Structure 1
Amino acid sequence: MPPAGARKSSGENPAPHEGGPVSASRDEIHILEDDPLVAGTVARALEEYGFATRWFRTAGELLAAAARHPPPLVVVDLGLPDRDGMDVVRELHQTADCGVLILTGRDIVSDRVLGLELGADDYVVKPFEPRELVARIRSILRRRAHPATGGAAHRVAVFEDWRYDPGSFTLIAGDGAEEILGAAEARLLLCFLEKPNRVLSREQLAGTADLAPFDRSIDVRVSRLRKRLNDDSQSPHLIKTVYGAGYVLSVGVRWETG
């Protein structure tokens, strides 16, 4: 039976070499994954093609090691025990000169979009084919070795008196006041901004936060997002409730690039 996360495997799948506080080589690809079976599959696939690897169970260990010796690339799982993986992607993009590939079981469009907006170079969903994963990692390393001029366009959403930068989770009010959203709020807001004036079901919104469709937590998160936007929960004009159907962002959204 193949180990969790991989489509197929041959032979045994020993646990990869775990990182932690020891120093890491600049040429090692770091794997941030709390499941040793998945981490072992990734490590073995990479090592078969000549890559050195180091495994980290927690975001804290990985970020500390990357701060000391930035690796060429980090494979990041989103479901981590100590921190949201999207926060890790954002911090790596801002503080470490390394490639980032998200490897996760979340097959949700809004997560794909958010991950790429935050600076990830690629997004792969489990179960994965190890050879394809290696090919994608090689492609990222080639692109980083020979970057295209100009770079990718930076997008900012403009709606009502607000601006939102999904690349940094920054919500900017009309008076210039800035607020950094948490990863869950950022995913929820991006989902609304990508589909303005369209009713989004509870199932769609719950999927952005790995919640069950009828988990009342989604209502709590919408309520918190309304507070961030100064949207009166008793008579909201931005995020409106469509009873029996879901919620809708009832204003237009313009995307600016720069």
Structure 2
Amino acid sequence: MTLVNTKPLIYVIDDEADICTLVCQELERYNFNTQAFTTGEQALLAIKKQLPSLCIIDLGLPDMDGLSLVKTLFDDKKIGVIILSGRNSLPDKVLGLELGADDYISKPFDPRELVARVKSIIRRLEVNELSPLTFPTASFGEWTFEQATHNLSNSKGDSFMLSAAENEILMTLLKAPKQILSRERLLSEDTTSFDRSIDVRMSRLRKKIEQDHKAPKIIKTVYGAGYIFTLDVTWH
């Protein structure tokens, strides 16, 4: 995905036409381009023709589960994803983030809050698309991380693509190794709609870099205080 100095393109995917209209009108007020789709298949066809900067996805689509669409987008493309859904259960929220969504907003929602969260994700994506020379590579243990591409790889040949939110959390840890960082600092401006979001993203990171994510040695929990990254970090 190439982000240039034009209006970011947002795809709104919801089977309720009124919701699509409301979201599109609100985003366009803040200088975003939008396209609306009422099925997942329509959205996938459009994505093949033109990549958006971000997709806003309802989970209750008529032709597919929205969670399947989230997973497809995260596995195949580097697109920002916000889930906008009437499903308010904690399992759905946790699973959405585990599949790679950057944020989860429950219906009914405040359109202004939605715009704020879209802006937050777009800013992170734009920063991460800058020249790799601006953001050096970090090495720790057997791992190498390139912020510009969100790519995390190790000496064994394993390679993972991080979401924008995971990228931001890992970068915060890497910039302050062997320091206790609070949950608030790790979340930064990415204040999501429920407290488990930081735990879900930390769990995703641990499953990638820890030999045993249930007994982590690289990213440790300091109970009552936050998290600490235990390894030395080299930038190059």
Moved more, 158-167 or 231-240: 231-240
2:21 counterpart (13, 36, 56): 36
Quickly say closer, same or farther: Cα 1:60–1:243, change in 2 above 3 A.
same
1:115 and 2:102 aligned: no
TM-score (norm 1): 0.49
Question: What residue in structure 1 maps to residue 78 of structure 2?
Answer: 90
Instruction: Note closer, same or farther for the CA distance 1:46–1:169 as it changes in structure 2 (3 Å cut).
Output: closer
Verify the 8 A CA contact 2:181 2:227 in the aligned structure 1: yes
The CA RMSD over aligned residues, in Å, is 4.4
- Structure 1 residue aligned with 2:84: none
3-state SS, counterpart of residue 117 of structure 2: coil
Q: Distance in 1 between matches of 2:119 and 2:178?
A: 20
Aligned length: 176
Q: Could you list the runs of 5+ residues in structure 2 that have no partner in the other structure?
A: 1-6, 14-19, 59-65, 81-113
1-side partners of 2:214 and 2:47: how far apart?
46
Change (3 A) 1:40 1:118: same
- Tell me the CA shift for residue 61 of structure 1: 4.1
**Aligned match of 2:225:** 245
Per the normalisation by structure 2, the TM-score is 0.53
Compared CA separation, residues 238 and 31, structure 1 to 2 (3 A): closer
The offset of 1:253, in angstroms, is 2.7
SS of residue in 2 equivalent to 1:247:
strand
Q: 1:164 matched to which residue of 2?
A: 145
Render the CA deviation track for 1:193-233: whole Å, top value 9, x for unaligned: 244333222234456472534x3x64454344223212445
Identity %: 28
Q: Which runs of 5+ in 1 are unaligned?
A: 1-27, 48-52, 93-102, 122-150
Structure 2 SS opposite 1:105: helix
Structure ranking higher in helix proportion: 2
Alpha-carbon offset, residue 166 of structure 1: 3.2
Question: Amino acid of the residue matched to residue 37 of structure 1?
Answer: L
What is the deviation of 1:247? 0.4
Q: Distance in 1 between matches of 2:118 and 2:30?
A: 22
CA distance in 1 between partners of 2:213 and 2:30 (Å): 51
Q: Say if 1:104 and 1:234 are closer, same or farther in 2 by CA, change over 3 A.
A: same
With over 3 angstroms needed to count, the CA separation of the structure-2 counterparts of 1:30 and 1:210, relative to structure 1, is closer
Indicate if the aligned counterparts of 1:89 and 1:115 stay in contact, CA closer than 8 A: no
Q: Which amino acid in 2 is paired with 1:212?
A: F
What is the CA–CA distance in structure 2 between the aligned matches of 1:210 and 1:65, rounded to whole Å? 28
Name the structure 1 match of 2:57.
Answer: 80
Correspondence 1:1-258 to 2 at 5 A: 30-33=9-12, 35-43=20-28, 55-57=35-37, 61-62=42-43, 64-68=45-49, 70=50, 74=52, 76=54, 79-81=56-58, 82=66, 83=70, 87=74, 90-91=78-79, 104-106=115-117, 111=121, 114-119=124-129, 153=133, 155=135, 156-181=137-162, 185-205=166-186, 208=190, 210-213=192-195, 215=196, 218-233=198-213, 236-256=216-236
Amino acid at match of 2:224: G
Distance in 1 (CA, whole Å) between partners of 2:156 and 2:22 is 50
